[in-house]
Structure 1
Amino acid sequence: MSESGKAYAAINLNEGGRLFDLKLDDRPVIQEHEDFPYTNSSASAIMFPFVNRIQDGMYSFEGKTYQITCNEPSKNNAIHGLLYTRKFEVYKKQVSVKAAILTLKYDYDGTTQGFPFPFDFFVTYTITEKTALVKMKVINTGKKTFPFTIGWHPYFTSENLYESYIDFDCDEEYTTTDDRSITNGTKPHELNMPFQLKNHPFDTAYTLKNIKIGFHTPSYKLTITGNAAQNFVQFFTPATKNIIAIEPTVGLSNSFNNHIGLQTLLPNKTYKIEWNVEVETKN
């Protein structure tokens, strides 16, 4: 917690190093919900080496087929990557009057079924009174190139989601299969910005023209920015009231097969990405 008490962050090392509680500028931004546990929500999960889903958990890369365990058995998909249930360790921490900085690390040995590519993963959280900066770094410690996408799965809270708005600049909306939530096409988006959420349900992905996403609630305005070259966002409104998932990513559902946003990382090379959350209090 900051000296003023206006900022607070809590991180769970045992659940993928996720940021599960966040207050900025004296406003609750991310909160836990008893009726929506992490096993169902994946709230604030770090999604790597893939985001969203892989259909049937199966993909091919450089002439070889791999099978990842399907951890979404109802739809027979692999979901949300491999890190979100792993135990991270504290790598470095620093606290000053202006900011608290915490770096976590996970060493992946490449022994999980379907992804035999070792890597070191770092996530750094920098918290100030009005901002939360999330930096991720991946180092390929193996001898082979591997495919990946990366993303973050936070749910943001509002005292009244009906009266809240989202605002972003995009070209198209991605459609998915109704039964398995797998990307199957695109269509022009039909949202007038800023878009009032009201009772509009979302489980929808969009291509972003730039990585700037706004979330306006009755008491605060939140802006997400980032530094990736290609950007997507996934919105999801669960049955739990007054929260919405706003998930910045570099790829989409089934990207290991449809290659939308798919990246590769060469041996001994490093990939870095960051997203910044900034809050402005309205009253």
Structure 2
Amino acid sequence: MTFENEYGAFTIDKRGASLVMLRLGKQHLIHDFGIEKYNWASGAVMFPFPVRMSTGTVMQFGDNNFKWPINDDNHKAALHGLTPWIDFKLTLHDNGISCEYEYDGTLEYYPFPNRLTITYTLESKSFLLKARIENMGTENMPYHIGWHPYFNLDSSFALTPSPKFRLAKDEHSLPRNKVPFLGFDWNDEVDGAFYMRDICIENENYQVNVTSCSEITQVFRPQGAPFIALEPITGLGHNDFPWRTVAPNSYDEVSCSIRL
């Protein structure tokens, strides 16, 4: 589904409520993977956890350990939660598109009925995502949420500002302890969580600013690729980032943005 107004245009795929095209003014910002977009989780919403948990497969909440199935064989981990592979219901509005998914809680590794509503809006030189997470069950519900947009890069791009800290990774790319950031050539392969709330991509003719929904952002780029994923996340399944919790019959809201 495509929305267009005087500020630009964007396209949302119902699979994963995924942002697959964004134009602000005349500038196209999102990398086009074509028929490979699902393999890259391009633009997808990641819920009830983004990326990988520090345990690999176990969501630890209170006295319970919910063991998720492995869907990332290379890293022996659960990856990106449920929603990148789920079809949302899309609705066109005057100022954007809303995407709704209602989950009945039947999976034993996430027994928490909920309704997830993603609203995308387009304003002057800015694109906004707002997530509303409603607990439709009778128990407190744990979650984190993230977003997986890929941005076009020029060969001479720069990423600023430089973070002061990052999360270390183990041999399976699972997040570990907070460590100082000692510098990095962003042209090398990168896949990790960095303490960066606001990130600027400086391309030759324009700058893109991404504001995350917490103090960390996941950054992913294969070496030499003409794109980079800057992934706003509320946190990871990690001791430094306790699960956000929604009480029964209540809701939580999260937002992040892209600005030109």
Whether TM-score is above 0.5 comes out as yes
Q: Matched residues in 2 for 1:71 and 1:222: separation? A: 32
CA shift digits 1:228-266 (9 cap, x unpaired): 4x42111111257210010111213x43xx352421111
Q: State whether residues 57 and 69 of structure 1, in contact with CA within 8 Å, keep that contact through their aligned partners in structure 2.
A: yes
Partner SS for 2:128: strand
The one of 131, 135, 140 equivalent to 2:126 is: 131
Task: Report deviation, 1:60.
Answer: 3.0
The one of 168, 173, 181 equivalent to 1:181 is: 173
The amino acid across from 1:109 in the alignment is D
Task: Report deviation, 1:218.
Answer: 0.8
Structure 1 unaligned segments of length 5 or more: list them. Answer: none
Alignment correspondent of 2:48:
49
Q: Matched residues in 2 for 1:123 and 1:82: separation? A: 15
Alignment of 1:260 with 2:248, yes or no, is no
Q: Matched residues in 1 for 2:253 and 2:102: separation? A: 16
> 1:112-127 maps to which residues of 2 (within 5 A)?
112-127=107-122
Pick closer, same or farther for the CA change 1:63–1:196 going to 2, 3 Å: closer
Alignment correspondent of 1:164:
157
CA shift digits 1:117-166 (9 cap, x unpaired): 011000001013522111111011100012111111111012x2x31111
Runs of 4+ in 1 over 6 A off after TM superposition: none
Q: Matched residues in 2 for 1:200 and 1:239: separation? A: 5
Alignment correspondent of 1:10:
11
Q: State whether residues 211 and 232 of structure 2, in contact with CA within 8 Å, keep that contact through their aligned partners in structure 1.
A: no
Partner SS for 2:85: coil
Q: Matched residues in 2 for 1:168 and 1:181: separation? A: 24
Alignment correspondent of 1:59:
59
Alignment of 1:212 with 2:198, yes or no, is yes
Cα root mean square deviation, aligned: 2.2
Partner SS for 2:73: coil
Partner SS for 1:116: coil
Task: Report deviation, 1:34.
Answer: 4.1
The amino acid across from 2:25 in the alignment is D
Q: Matched residues in 1 for 2:93 and 2:253: separation? A: 20
The one of 142, 145, 149 equivalent to 1:150 is: 145
> 1:28-47 maps to which residues of 2 (within 5 A)?
28-34=28-34, 37-47=36-46
Alignment correspondent of 1:225:
211
Q: What TM-score results when the alignment is normalised by the length of structure 2?
A: 0.90
The amino acid across from 2:182 in the alignment is E
Q: State whether residues 140 and 265 of structure 1, in contact with CA within 8 Å, keep that contact through their aligned partners in structure 2.
A: yes
Q: Matched residues in 1 for 2:86 and 2:5: separation? A: 31
Q: State whether residues 127 and 259 of structure 2, in contact with CA within 8 Å, keep that contact through their aligned partners in structure 1.
A: yes
Q: Matched residues in 1 for 2:8 and 2:69: separation? A: 39
Q: State whether residues 166 and 196 of structure 1, in contact with CA within 8 Å, keep that contact through their aligned partners in structure 2.
A: no
Alignment correspondent of 1:236:
220
Task: Report deviation, 1:196.
Answer: 7.2
Q: State whether residues 9 and 23 of structure 2, in contact with CA within 8 Å, keep that contact through their aligned partners in structure 1.
A: yes
Partner SS for 2:72: coil
Task: Report deviation, 1:38.
Answer: 2.9
Alignment correspondent of 2:19:
19
The amino acid across from 2:136 in the alignment is T
Task: Report deviation, 1:269.
Answer: 1.6
The amino acid across from 2:174 in the alignment is I
Alignment correspondent of 1:68:
68
Aligned length: 257
CA shift digits 1:166-210 (9 cap, x unpaired): 1136431111013x110122321134xxx874x2321121123xx
Partner SS for 2:159: strand
Q: State whether residues 165 and 196 of structure 1, in contact with CA within 8 Å, keep that contact through their aligned partners in structure 2.
A: no
Of all paired residues, the percent bearing the same amino acid is 26
